[in-house]
């Protein structure tokens, strides 16, 4: 019976490691593997001016309709 618990514990530990690794690579890894697009860093920079223009354009289009 203890072998079954051991197998389940090992499977659980493996699943926790796998999900933790995916989480780490998605949010904290600064290499190409961390970016979902494979761009190697474009995800880490935010173009505030472009974002502001997009918001203003959407606001003018919604008020114009």
Cβ-Cβ contacts under 8 Å for 30 (sequence gap 6 or more): 41, 44
pLDDT tens profile 10-27: 999 999 999 999 888 887
| Bigger pLDDT: 23 vs 64 | 23
Three-state secondary-structure class, residue 56: helix
Three-state secondary-structure class, residue 49: helix
Query: Looking at residues 27-37, what average pLDDT do you find?
Result: 61
Q: Within 10 A of 34 (CB to CB), how many other CB atoms are there?
A: 17
How many alpha carbons fall within 13 Å on the CB side of residue 17? 6
Whether the per-residue pLDDT at 34 is higher than 60: the answer is no
Whether the per-residue pLDDT at 42 is higher than 60: the answer is no
Share of the chain above pLDDT 90, in %: 31
Check residue 31 and report its DSSP letter. S
């Amino acid at each position: 019976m203890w072998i079954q618990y051991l197998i389940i514990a090992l499977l659980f530990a493996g699943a926790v490691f796998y999900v933790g690794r995916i989480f780490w690579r998605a949010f904290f890894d600064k290499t190409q593997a961390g970016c979902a697009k494979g761009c190697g860093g474009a995800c880490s920079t935010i173009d505030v001016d472009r974002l502001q223009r997009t918001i203003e354009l959407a606001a003018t289009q919604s008020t114009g309709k």
